[in-house]
Structures are given as C-alpha cells and as structure tokens.
C-alpha cells in the first residue's frame, strides 16, 4: 500500500519549507530541485498547499513561497485526508471497469475502516516537527554563527 504521488510531493514540500530555520522565500524551481521532483508537479503541489492555507506566496522577482503558521502546525493525518480524493482503497470502481464483486462485498467497508486507522495514527504527527533540519551536519561558518545568534537572542 502507498500514498498517492501527489500527496507524496505535497508532504515533501511542507517538510522542506517547515525545515527552513527562517521564513525565507523559496522559488518553486529551488523547491523542485531540493525535493527531487519535476517542476510542474511541485508547482501544482504549491497551488494546492496555498489553497489549504499551508503556504504563503509572494509574487514578483524577489518572490517565492514560505510555510504559513497553519503549515507549521499541520499534521500528516489532516493533510493526507485532505489530499485523498479516492472513495475506495481498492479499485472497486475504476475507469477500466468496476469490480464485478462489489455488490454485497464486505471487504470494501473493512478497507475503508483500515484507511481510517491509517490516518488516525498520523493525526498527532506534526509534519514540521519531523522535518529534517536544513543545516544539520557540516555547515558553512556564517550559517552556524547566524544560528548561534538566533539561539542567543
């Protein structure tokens, strides 16, 4: 089982932006490079995340995207539920043909309940709290000093 590709990209974008120590703006092109995903996929993800209020964007030459306050608090469960538009966990109904067993099939409901358990497990998981820090490991000295200054402040 897996989450869909679009949810995957959205999670990566939120994690990346939430992991930024400051509220610096980041262009979609930079985000795409940093999450290892094609530009057009990331662009769609950013639009969706903005509609959900999880990121803010600033237009213009110096513009870009940054995480919002809501984005810093969003849980993986909430976001994945919002992005999951499928009615069934299995392919009970598909453009290629519906499952002939679907009438009277009790498994469909059981799979939906299992999906509920999957999301419930992620309802306490704040994405920002799990994001890898950008400047962990070996870092340039100026960054370390800036971080230090922020810690002291």
Residues of this chain that interact with its own copies (CB under 8 A) are 1-5, 7-8, 11-12, 15-16, 19, 34-36, 76, 80, 84, 86, 88-91, 97-101, 103-107, 110-111, 113-122, 125, 127, 129-133, 136
Shortest Cβ 48–its own copies spacing (Å) = 17
Per the rule left: phi > 0, alpha: psi between -120 and 50, beta: everything else, 136 is beta
Q: CB of 26 within 8 A of CB of 66?
A: yes
Shortest Cβ 60–its own copies spacing (Å) = 27
How many CA atoms, within 13 angstroms, populate the side-chain half-sphere of residue 127?
28
Shortest Cβ 59–its own copies spacing (Å) = 27
Q: Which is nearer to its own copies, 44 or 86 (CB)?
A: 86
Determine the 3-state secondary structure of 50 from DSSP.
helix
CB within 8 Å of 129: residues ≥ 6 apart:
none
Q: Which is nearer to its own copies, 25 or 88 (CB)?
A: 88
């Amino acid at each position: 089982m897996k989450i869909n590709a679009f949810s995957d990209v959205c999670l990566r974008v939120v994690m990346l932006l939430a992991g930024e120590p400051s509220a610096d703006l980041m262009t979609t092109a930079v985000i795409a490079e940093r999450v290892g995903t094609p530009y057009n996929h990331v662009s769609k993800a950013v639009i969706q995340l903005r509609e959900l209020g999880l990121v803010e964007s600033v237009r213009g030459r110096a513009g870009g995207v940054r995480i919002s306050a809501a984005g810093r608090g969003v849980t993986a469960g909430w976001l994945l539920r919002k992005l999951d538009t499928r009615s069934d966990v299995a392919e009970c109904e598909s453009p290629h043909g519906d499952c002939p067993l679907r009438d009277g099939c009790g498994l469909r409901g059981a799979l939906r309940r299992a999906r509920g358990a999957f999301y419930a497990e992620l309802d306490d998981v704040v994405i920002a709290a799990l994001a890898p820090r950008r400047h962990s490991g070996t870092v340039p000295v100026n960054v370390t000093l800036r971080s230090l200054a922020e810690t002291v402040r």
